């Protein structure tokens, strides 16, 4: 076992978990290589579901994958811990001490040796140093944060319901800063929650008592997507009584309000930061590896870091060049999924002395889901390179297929079919919103 080539993947997210699954199935099972996944958490939830967990329209427990159980089934090893450093000369990475929720040390600092290292640690929201953002905003970077958001939201509704009963002022102001896909989809999810919760006992409150705003610094929402999509999304949000404030940079976030660059103060009891991303800060301190201003590891088109051909990076934490473009590959689940596929081929080739495969991002389009109301998006024609606008049920079907593709990569087609059936049964058995 010790003589086997050791591939260590750090980060079991949208890209990393798909990669270790295929490596385990192909190389680990036949004992051609030893595969290890390191993650700071015990379970995986696909990150694009987090805003649904936050609003309560999805029960995370039913969608969680336990790394240990998954590792056993797919022939890789799992190490719980947070990567904190790297010794490239000795080819060892450092895992910080693991502590329980009370701060007591469970496992001390450790080192793991590797022959090939893949870093896939994702990203977190980037508040660009906006005063007050860290202290007064909620973030949706992890399952823990999404669950905390859900609890705070239920309590806020409960409080406002009580105030309505007392006959006092009871408007709940919720503001989302950043109108990229995450911010826009979250706004629609929150509108759904504001309509559903009164049905489940908070009947002194009405959806109109919940004021939801999305703020965007660029002159239109969804600035990275085609203008037509942005216009359709604005119409849909306004139809759902969500206030859209585009071209309005935020200069400060206070406990119960937001100060705009022009000095206007907007009341906001719950403020969510969903603008921009940056990779984890520790990447900037890894000896000798090149990072950009967002802490992303700069990689070649082969996903190899520019300074070390034995270290690869993929997903949100990698700045990967694209041919014919001065922009790196965008930070999306779709990109992480495709990079995991390419890297799988490269790592199999490497064991046989073959070459690394260059990564070419294939943009299949973008879909924005407005909770159970509607979905809009554009699909890219592979041959024509043109985009086709879609909306409604067809768009929703494509949107849902993204998550199913991730599940197929992790569980195979048959088990994904069974999971789909169980989801349908669970929907029929449980309330439409998670109420605790
Ligand atoms: C609310 C929300 C909605 C989104 N919706 C969409 C969408 O609809 N479509 C789309 O394409 N993209 C969407 N995205 C973006 C998408 O989720 C990311 O692009 C994608 O998850 C990136 O995959 P990844 O593998 O790079 O990282 P992640 O999926 O973020 O996984 C990173 C993993 O690394 C682990 N980790 C982090 N630091 C360490 C460390 N130091 N040591 C060990 N482990 C570590 C984490 O625990 C995590 O498991 C959304 C993002 C959010 C937040």
- Residue 60 to residue 340: CA distance in whole angstroms: 24
Answer yes or no: is pLDDT of 434 > 70: yes
How many Cβ atoms sit within 10 Å of the Cβ of residue 279? 26
**Residue 411 near ligand 1, beta carbon < 6 Å:** no
Residue whose structure tokens are 């070419």: 360
Greater confidence (387 vs 259) lies with 259
Q: What confidence score (pLDDT) does residue 298 get? A: 98
Predicted pLDDT at 63: 86
> Does residue 189 have its Cβ closer than 6 Å to ligand 1?
no
Per-residue pLDDT of 271-296, as tens digits, reads 999 999 999 999 999 988 999 999 99
Percent of the chain with pLDDT strictly greater than 90: 79
**387 or 368: which leads in pLDDT:** 368
Question: What is the band of 372 on the pLDDT scale with cuts at 50, 70, 90?
Answer: confident
415 CA → ligand 1 middle, Å: 23
Q: Is the CB of 13 under 6 A from ligand 1?
A: yes
For residue range 40-96, what is the model confidence (pLDDT) as tens digits? 999 999 999 999 999 998 888 878 999 999 999 999 999 999 999 999 999 999 999
Could you identify the atom of ligand 1 that is nearest to the CA of residue 50?
A: 1
Among 47, 81, 123, 341, which residue has the most ligand 1 atoms within 8 Å of its CB, making it the best to mutate? 47
Return the residue matching tokens 């994702």.
Answer: 122
- Residue 392: which pLDDT band, with cuts at 50, 70 and 90? confident
Instruction: Say if CB 6 and CB 36 are below 8 A apart.
Output: yes
The per-residue pLDDT for range 211-266, each reduced to its tens digit, is: 999 999 999 999 988 899 999 999 999 999 999 999 999 999 999 999 999 999 99
**Which pLDDT band holds residue 384 (cuts at 50, 70, 90)?**
low
* Mean pLDDT of the 163-175 span: 93
Q: Which atom of ligand 1 is nearest to the CA of 82?
A: 42
Cα of 334 vs centre of ligand 1, distance in Å, is 11
User: What residue owns the CA closest to ligand 1's atom 37?
Assistant: 121
Residue 395 confidence class, pLDDT cut points 50, 70, 90: confident
> Which pLDDT score is estimated for 373?
87
Return the number of other C-beta atoms located less than 10 Å from residue 251's C-beta: 13
Q: What is the per-residue pLDDT across 328-341, written as a single tens digit (0 to 9) for each?
A: 999 999 999 999 99
Distance in angstroms (rounded) separating the CA atoms of residues 299 and 268: 40
| Phi–psi pair at 83, nearest 5 degrees | -65, 135
Question: Which residues neighbour 153 within 8 Å (Cβ) at sequence distance 6 or greater?
Answer: 54, 55, 56, 190, 193, 270
Q: Is the pLDDT of residue 398 over 60?
A: yes
14 pocket-lining for ligand 1 (C-beta < 6 Å): yes
123 alpha carbon to ligand 1 midpoint, in Å? 6
Give yes or no for residue 108 having a pLDDT over 60. yes
CA atoms within 13 A on the CB side of 41: 17
Closest CA to 205 of 170, 153, 175: 170
Distance CA 128, CA 61 (A): 32
pTM: 0.93
Question: Is it the case that residue 423 has pLDDT exceeding 90?
Answer: no
Residue 305: per-residue pLDDT? 98
Give the pLDDT confidence score for residue 315 in this predicted structure: 98
Q: What is the pLDDT of residue 383?
A: 54
């Amino acid at each position: 076992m010790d003589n086997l080539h050791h591939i260590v993947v750090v980060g079991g997210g949208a890209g990393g978990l798909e990669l270790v699954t295929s490596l385990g199935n192909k190389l680990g099972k036949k004992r051609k290589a030893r595969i290890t996944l390191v993650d700071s958490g015990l379970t995986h939830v696909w990150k694009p579901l987090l805003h649904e967990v936050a609003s309560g329209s999805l029960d995370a427990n039913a969608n969680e994958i336990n790394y240990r159980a998954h590792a056993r089934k797919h022939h890789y090893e799992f190490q719980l811990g947070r990567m904190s450093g790297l010794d490239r000369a000795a080819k060892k990475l450092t895992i910080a001490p693991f502590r329980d929720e009370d701060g007591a040390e469970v496992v001390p600092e450790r080192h793991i040796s590797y022959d090939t290292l893949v870093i896939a640690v994702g990203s977190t929201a980037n508040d660009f140093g906006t005063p007050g953002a860290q202290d007064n905003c909620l973030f949706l970077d992890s399952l823990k944060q999404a669950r905390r958001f859900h609890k705070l939201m239920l309590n806020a509704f409960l409080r406002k319901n009580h105030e309505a009963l007392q006959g006092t002022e009871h408007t709940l102001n919720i503001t989302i800063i950043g109108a990229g896909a995450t911010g826009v989809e979250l706004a629609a999810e929150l509108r759904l929650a504001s309509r559903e919760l009164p049905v489940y006992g908070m009947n002194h409150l009405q959806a109109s008592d919940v004021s939801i705003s999305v703020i965007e610094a660029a002159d239109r929402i969804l600035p990275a997507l085609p203008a037509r999509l942005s216009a359709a999304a604005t119409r849909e949000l306004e139809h759902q009584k969500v206030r859209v404030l585009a071209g309005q940079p935020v200069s400060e976030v206070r406990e119960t309000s937001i100060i705009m660059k022009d000095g206007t103060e907007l009341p906001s009891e719950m403020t969510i930061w969903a603008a921009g991303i940056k990779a984890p800060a520790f990447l900037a301190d890894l000896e000798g590896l090149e990072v950009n201003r967002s802490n992303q590891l700069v990689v070649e088109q082969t996903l190899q870091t520019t300074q070390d051909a034995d270290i690869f990076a993929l997903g949100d934490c990698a700045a990967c060049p694209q041919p014919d473009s001065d922009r790196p590959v965008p930070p999306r689940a779709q990109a992480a999924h495709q990079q995991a596929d390419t890297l799988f081929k490269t790592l199999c080739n490497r064991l046989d002395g073959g070459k690394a495969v260059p990564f070419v991002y294939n943009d299949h389009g973008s879909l924005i889901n407005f909770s159970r109301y509607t979905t809009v998006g554009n699909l890219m024609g592979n041959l024509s390179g043109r985009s086709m606008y879609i909306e409604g049920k067809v768009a929703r079907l494509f949107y849902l297929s993204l998550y199913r593709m991730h599940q197929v990569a992790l569980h195979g087609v048959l088990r994904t079919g069974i999971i789909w059936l169980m989801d349908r049964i669970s929907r029929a058995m449980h309330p439409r919103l998670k109420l605790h």
